[in-house]
Amino acid sequence: MKITKTSISRLNTTDFSNLPFGTVFSDHMLVCHYKDGEWLAPQIEPYGPISMFPGTQVLHYGQSVFEGMKAFKNNNDEVLLFRKEENLKRLNQSAVRLSIPEIPEDVFINGLIELLKLDGEWCKADDGYSLYIRPFIFASSEWIKASSSDEFTFMIITSPTINYYPGSIDLVIEQHFSRATNGGVGYAKAAGNYAGSFYPTKKANARGFTQVIWTDSKEHKYIEESGTMNIWFRIDNKLITPSLSDSILGGITRDSILKLAIDAGIDVEERIVSVAEILEASKNGTLQEAFGTGTAVTVVAVKSITLEDIKMNIPTQENPISMRFKKQLQDLQYGRSEDIFSWTSKVTSSITAF
């Protein structure tokens, strides 16, 4: 793979105590072009601007998909990736739905590893630090006809992050706007899904809520997910999460929690979850916990859920199951516990020095 290293690393001038999420980028990026029906050889270059013509397809029709994953550093200064194959699988599922050619495994996996070998120092070993990884593909043909592009660009950029351990969050059940519809692209990480969510989310933020809970687009009676997280409830000692559909993004954290729960012998159900049953469980005192899961937050507890003018306060538990999962997951991700599911892989043991 052609690798062009940066001549001036920004590593020593970056303030690692101040890392607003997704705003600081590491030194290098992977770039791979798709032309004439095939993905060409990927290369690694210094992180920097990319040039494109105003008529580039993605700017007009949003034919673009992305992924979100993290690398962690263990106590031996080794960079660990968490379930990277799952991200590749989901990226390609998204690509198929958006009429984008799938990324070959070697381009994704080898490209990612080479990139992390170069920028491993951007992943700090201290507790709470991780390196957020953003693979993405966009339509790069220069045309404004409304049809699928025939040229694409795949890139990977990385961004150091610190876990701010957000406290518990306040959610509101969205009863007007929808994130996704049946037959649509909700199960894909399509860029446009996020563009469409900003307006309702901003409105909810202005009313003092951290995030919205997305419901089904037909009747707004069934719970789907929350913001960019999957959602979970503990009712009467049963752990419940909405079953996946074409309007829900199948989170890799969700899948990991499911496996941890089953392994721990917890009674867990993936099924349709109605707004009415959450309201009922809150009223009759059986709603014990609610929490969200996703790569960015890992696991975050929900403090309240509002439905129109009814605020359901979620009781504070002494030993919440959500925090148990959070610890278990983070221990695995940082290589602090035995990797019984074979979820982590080491990138390198020697970090490239600049």
Ligand X SMILES: Cc1ncc(COP(=O)(O)O)c(C=O)c1O
Residues near ligand X (CB under 6 A):
68, 225, 228-230, 249, 251-254, 293-295
Compute the least distance from the CB of residue 254 to ligand X, in Å.
6
Nearer to ligand X, 118 or 240 (CB): 240
Instruction: Give CA–CA dist 107/32, Å, rounded.
Output: 8
Closest CA to 52 of 137, 134, 139, 133: 139
Rank residues 288 and 295 by Cβ distance to ligand X and give the closer one: 295
- The two tokens of residue 132 are 């957020």
The whole-angstrom separation of Cα 245 and Cα 197 is 18
Q: How far apart are CA 18 and CA 34, in angstroms?
A: 37
Backbone angle region of 36, left / alpha / beta, with phi > 0 → left and psi within -120 to 50 → alpha: left
Residue 249 CB, nearest approach to ligand X (Å): 4
CB of 138 to ligand X, least distance (A): 17
Nearer to ligand X among residue 57 and residue 228 (C-beta)? 228
- Min CB(116)–ligand X separation in Å: 18
- The distance of closest approach from Cβ of residue 76 to ligand X in the complex, given in angstroms and rounded to an integer, is 26
DSSP letter at 206 equals H
Residue 78 is which amino acid? E
| Residue 82 vs 129, nearer CB to ligand X | 82
Q: Which two tokens stand for residue 47?
A: 């992180």
Cα angle 167-327-334, degrees, rounded to a multiple of 5: 115
Contact 112, 84 (CB under 8 A): yes
Residue whose CB is less far from ligand X, 239 or 351: 239
The nearest distance, CB 228 to ligand X, in angstroms, is: 3
Nearby residues of 239 by Cβ (< 8 Å), 6 or more positions away: 232, 233, 261, 266, 267, 268, 269, 321
Nearer to ligand X, 68 or 160 (CB): 68
Q: Checking DSSP bridges between strand 230-235 and strand 223-226, what pairing results, if any?
A: unpaired
C-beta of 53 vs 194, nearer to ligand X: 194
- For the bound state, the minimum distance from the C-beta of residue 313 to ligand X, rounded and expressed in Å, comes to 24
Helix (H, G, I), strand (E, B) or coil at 200: helix
Close Cβ partners of 151 (under 8 Å, ≥ 6 residues apart): 33, 34, 35, 139, 140, 141
